[in-house]
Chains A and B, each alone.
Chain A
Amino acid sequence: MDDLQCDGLTKRFGNFTAVNDVSFAVPSGSFFSILGPSGCGKTTLMRMIAGFENPSKGDIKIKGNSVLATPPNKRNVKMVFQHLALFPMMNVGENIAYGLRCRGEPKADIAHKVAAVLERIGLPGVEEKEVAQLSGGQKQRIAIARCMVLEPDVLLLDEPLGALDLKLRERMKIELKLLQHQFDTTFLYITHDQSEALVMSDNVAVMNAGRFEQIGTPQELYHSPASGFVAGFVGDTNRWKGRVVSIADGAAKVQTAAGEIVAAASGEDVAEGVEVDVFVRPEAIELGVPENGNSLRGKVDSLLFNGANSRILVRIADGELIEVNYPVMDGGGGLSAGDDVEIGWARERGRCFAAAR
Chain B
Amino acid sequence: MFRSDASKLSLILLMTPFVLWIGLLIVLPQLGIGYISLREKVGPREYELGLANYIDFINEPIYWNTLLRTAWMSILVTALALLVGFPVAYYIAKIAQQRSRAALFLLCLIPLWVSDLVRAFGWIVLLRETGVVSGMLQTAGLISGPVELLYNDVTVVIGLVYTVVLFMIVPLFSTLDGMDNSLLEAGYNLGGSRVTVFRRIVVPYAMPGIVAGCIITFMLTAGSYLTPILLGGKNSSWFTEQIYDQFITRYNWESGATFGVLLLGFTSFVVWLGLRLTGQSLANTVAKE
Contacts and interface: CB of A to CB of B under 8 A. Distances in A.
Establish whether A and B are touching in the complex (CB under 8 Å): yes
A85 interface: yes
A216 interface: no
B205 A73 contact: no
Contacts of A83: 180, 182
Given A87-B201, A88-B205, A89-B204, A99 B182 contact: no
B289 interface: yes
A99 B193 CA distance: 11
A146 B183 CA distance: 13
Contacts of A74: 191
Given A89-B204, A89-B205, A72 B188 contact: yes
Interface string A26-47: 0000000000000000000000
Interface in B193-223: 193, 196, 200-201, 204-205, 207
Which applies to chain B's interface (DSSP): helix, strand, loop or mixed?
A: helix
Nearest to B185: A52
Contact of A99 (B180, B183, B185, B191): B191
A132 interface: yes
A82 interface: yes
Contact of B189 (A79, A82, A87, A132): A79
B191 A102 contact: yes
Contacts of A98: 187, 190, 192, 200
B185 A146 contact: no
Contacts, number: 65
A102 B193 contact: yes
A26 B36 CA distance: 80
Given A98-B200, A132-B289, A85 B182 contact: yes
Interface residues of A, number: 26
B289 to A, nearest CB: 6
A101 to B, nearest CB: 8
A24 interface: no
Given A89-B204, A103-B191, A79 B289 contact: no
B191 A87 contact: no
A81 B186 CA distance: 8
Contacts of A82: 182
B189 A102 contact: no
A324 interface: no
B276 to A, nearest CB: 19
Nearest to A149: B190
Contacts of B193: 73, 102
Interface residues of B, number: 19
Contacts of A103: 191
Contacts of A300: none
Nearest to B196: A102
A77 B188 CA distance: 11
A81 B182 CA distance: 7
Contacts of B182: 81-83, 85
A53 to B, nearest CB: 11
A102 B190 contact: yes
A205 interface: no
Contacts of B189: 50-51, 72-73, 77-79
Interface string B257-289: 000000000000000000000000000000001
Nearest to A103: B191
A243 B207 CA distance: 66
B161 to A, nearest CB: 28
Contacts of B200: 87, 90, 98
Given A89-B204, A89-B205, A102-B196, A81 B185 contact: yes
Contact of A85 (B185, B191, B192, B207): B185
The residue in B180, B188, B200 that gathers the most chain A C-beta atoms within 10 A of its C-beta is B188
Nearest to A96: B190
A149 to B, nearest CB: 9
A271 interface: no
The residue in B187, B189, B192 that gathers the most chain A C-beta atoms within 10 A of its C-beta is B189
Given A79-B186, A85-B186, A150 B191 contact: yes
Contacts of A132: 289
Contacts of A71: 188
Given A79-B186, A83-B182, A73 B204 contact: no
Contacts of B192: 73, 98-99, 102
15 contacts: A52-B185, A52-B188, A72-B185, A73-B188, A73-B192, A81-B185, A81-B186, A82-B182, A83-B182, A85-B180, A85-B182, A102-B192, A146-B190, A147-B190, A150-B190
Interface of A: 50-52, 71-74, 77-79, 81-83, 85, 87-90, 98-99, 102-103, 132, 146-147, 150
Interface of B: 180, 182-183, 185-193, 196, 200-201, 204-205, 207, 289
Given A72-B185, A77-B189, A85-B182, 7 more contacts: A78-B189, A81-B185, A85-B183, A85-B185, A85-B186, A90-B200, A102-B196
